[in-house]
A and B are shown apart, each in its own frame.
Chain A
Amino acid sequence: MPDALLSLHGVHTHIGPYHILHGVDLTVPEGQLTMLLGRNGAGKTTTLRTIMGLWRASSGHIRFAGADITRMATPDIARLGIAYVPEAMAIFTQLTVRENMLLATHTGRFDAARLEHVLALFPVLKQKWHDAAGGLSGGQKQMLAISRAMVEQRRMLVVDEPTKGLAPAVIEHLIAGFRELKATHTTILLVEQNFHMARSLGDGVAVMDDGVVVHAGDMATLAADEALQSRLLGLSLASHQ
Chain B
Amino acid sequence: MTRVLSRDLADRWAPHLVLPVLAALALPAMAFSSWVTLTLAGLAMGMMLFLMASGLTLIFGLMDVLNFAHAGFVTLGAYLTVSMFGALSGLVAADSLSLNLLALGAALLVAAVVSGAFGFAFEHVIIRRVYGSHLQQILITVGGLIVAEQLIVVVWGAEPLHVAKPEALRGSFIIGGAAIEKYRIAAVALGLLVYLAMHLVLNRTRIGLLVRAGVENREMVEALGFRVRRLFVGVFIAGTALAGIGGVMWAVYQELVTTAIGADMTILMFIVVIIGGLGSVSGCFVGAMLVGLTANYTGFLAPKLALGSSIALMVLILLWRPRGLLPVAK
| A interface residues (Cβ-Cβ under 8 A, vs B) | 52, 54, 73-75, 78-79, 84, 86, 90, 92-95, 99, 102-104, 106, 108, 134, 148
Chain A positions within 8 Å of B125 at CB level: none
Task: List residues of B (189-235) whose CB comes within 8 Å of A's CBs.
Answer: 206, 209-210, 212-213, 216-217, 219-228
Q: How long is the Cα–Cα vector from A54 to B223 in the complex, in angstroms?
A: 8
Q: How long is the Cα–Cα vector from A218 to B63 in the complex, in angstroms?
A: 45
Q: Which chain A residue has the least Cβ–Cβ distance from B214?
A: A92
Q: A103 contacts which of B224, B227, B228, B329 (Cβ < 8 Å)? A: B224
Chain B positions within 8 Å of A92 at CB level: 212-213, 216-217, 220
Is there contact, CB below 8 Å, between A134 and B329? yes
Chain B positions within 8 Å of A108 at CB level: 206
Q: How long is the Cα–Cα vector from A99 to B203 in the complex, in angstroms?
A: 10
| B interface residues (Cβ-Cβ under 8 A, vs A) | 206, 209-210, 212-213, 216-217, 219-228, 328-329
Q: B215 to chain A: closest CB distance in Å?
A: 8
Given contacts A103-B213, A108-B206, contact A90 B329 (CB under 8 A): no
Q: List 12 A-B contacts (CB under 8 A).
A: A54-B219, A74-B222, A75-B227, A78-B223, A78-B225, A79-B225, A86-B220, A92-B216, A94-B328, A95-B212, A99-B209, A106-B225
Is there contact, CB below 8 Å, between A78 and B329? no
- Given A75-B227, A90-B223, A99-B209, 17 extra CB contacts under 8 A: A54-B223, A73-B222, A74-B222, A74-B223, A75-B222, A78-B222, A78-B224, A86-B223, A90-B219, A92-B216, A93-B216, A94-B216, A102-B209, A103-B210, A104-B224, A106-B225, A148-B224
Q: A106 to chain B: closest CB distance in Å?
A: 6
Is there contact, CB below 8 Å, between B223 and A84? yes
Q: B224 to chain A: closest CB distance in Å?
A: 6
Q: B285 to chain A: closest CB distance in Å?
A: 17
Chain A positions within 8 Å of B223 at CB level: 52, 54, 74, 78, 84, 86, 90
Chain B positions within 8 Å of A104 at CB level: 224
Q: How long is the Cα–Cα vector from A118 to B76 in the complex, in angstroms?
A: 52
Is there contact, CB below 8 Å, between B329 and A94? yes
Is there contact, CB below 8 Å, between A75 and B226? yes
Q: How long is the Cα–Cα vector from A102 to B213 in the complex, in angstroms?
A: 11
Q: A158 to chain B: closest CB distance in Å?
A: 9
Q: Which chain B residue has the least Cβ–Cβ distance from A108?
A: B206
Is there contact, CB below 8 Å, between B217 and A90? yes
Chain B positions within 8 Å of A134 at CB level: 329
Chain A positions within 8 Å of B222 at CB level: 54, 73-75, 78
Chain A positions within 8 Å of B328 at CB level: 94
Q: How long is the Cα–Cα vector from A138 to B210 in the complex, in angstroms?
A: 23
Q: B7 to chain A: closest CB distance in Å?
A: 14
Q: B221 to chain A: closest CB distance in Å?
A: 7
Q: B212 contacts which of A52, A54, A86, A94 (Cβ < 8 Å)? A: A94
Chain A positions within 8 Å of B228 at CB level: 75
Chain B positions within 8 Å of A93 at CB level: 216, 329
